[in-house]
Amino acid sequence: MKFVVFFVATFLVASQCYGASFRSFPLQMPTGYGDGASHDDVRCASWRLAVESLNIQSFETIPEECVAYIANYIEGGQYQSDSKTANQQVFFYARELQVQDNDVVIFNVDGTALSNIPYYSQHGYGSEKFNSTRYDEEFVNKSDAPALPETLKNYNKLLDLGFKIIFLTGRLTDKKAVTEANLRKAGFHTWEKLILKDPSNNQKAQEYKVAERKKLMQQGYRIVANVADQWTSLRGANKAIRTFKLPNPMYSIQ
């Protein structure tokens, strides 16, 4: 009899525990995304965090089930807010420094200074495989990209503080004229240098940027900050004193 009571009691307790956790899971997801959050939203938010924190180091296209999530992220205000927070931190850091004559802040171009959302919104927010010919034809060569608003604000504040700006891009040197024209049109009216990649240079993105930063240091510049949306622009040797990662869940450059 004792044995039976114990068994029944155990069963009741276990089923209550199971019942409680089972009930709370699908009804109330602690996501912060509100009642309308789907399982894809939750999974894709995790995926995006993994990309931004470099737990995912490279991907060719975004997961198919995350296209709607990424589109909402980009167009819905969160992307701009994340971009603002990152750029503000650059400024909060920079304004505490004693500016020296040779102090520079490096900005990447695509996805950092210039917004390529107009292109990516037409190409599945990163769900289509990247086609560099198409990107050059429809985007780069048009010289019509808008500034990322928060980067432009930050750029102007950094200039006011007395920092020099260097743009360091993986765009090839044959894009120099269109890139200069686009930067000016978007509101970036001055810079110390615009560094583009020689077509004969077959270094990968990170290696190329590390080498260019080394040259800048050898030329006597102090790189106080390096701002980019790709980890390959920020990682590796010859680092800036601080690096700042802008959001970009749409593609990964290697």
Decide whether 48 or 175 has the Cβ nearer to ligand NAG: 175
- Site for ligand NAG contains 60 (CB under 6 A): no
Beta carbon of residue 61, minimum distance to ligand NAG (angstroms, whole number)? 13
Select from 39-47, 114-122, 128-136, 205-213 the region that touches ligand NAG (CB under 6 A). Answer: 128-136
Distance CA 15, CA 100 (A): 68
Choices 36-44, 89-97, 132-140, 149-157; region in contact with ligand NAG by CB under 6 A: 132-140
Residue 193 CB, nearest approach to ligand NAG (Å): 20
From residue 133, alpha-carbon distances to 100, 130, 136, 195, 199 in Å are 41, 9, 5, 21, 14
Q: How far is the CB of 71 from ligand NAG (least distance, A)?
A: 22
Q: Quick check: 141 binds ligand NAG (CB under 6 A)?
A: yes
The pattern of x and - marking residues 75 through 114 that bind ligand NAG according to CB under 6 A reads ----------------------------------------
Among 152, 149, 116, 151, residue whose Cα is nearest residue 135: 116
CB of 200 to ligand NAG, least distance (A): 15
CB atoms within 10 A of CB 64: 9
Q: Is 174 in the site for ligand NAG (CB under 6 A)?
A: yes
Structure tokens, 128: 């289509």
- Window contacting ligand NAG (CB under 6 A); options: 57-65, 135-143, 185-193, 200-208: 135-143
Cα–chain center distance at 117: 12
Extended beta strands in the chain, E state: 103-107, 164-172, 193-197, 222-228, 242-245
Q: Which of 10, 55, 131, 156 binds ligand NAG (CB under 6 A)?
A: 131
Q: Judged by CB under 6 A, does residue 134 bind ligand NAG?
A: yes
**Are the beta carbons of 157 and 93 closer than 8 angstroms?**
no
Closest CA to 154 of 218, 70, 244: 244
CA 181: distance to chain centroid?
24
Residue (134 or 189) nearer to ligand NAG, CB: 134
Q: Which two tokens stand for residue 17?
A: 């525990």
133 contacts ligand NAG (rule: CB under 6 A) = yes
| Contacting residue, 60, 137, 160, 198, with ligand NAG by CB under 6 A | 137
Task: Using alpha carbons only, give the angle 237, 129, 198 rounded to the nearest 5 degrees.
Answer: 45
The contact set with ligand NAG (CB under 6 A) reads 131, 133-134, 136-137, 141, 174
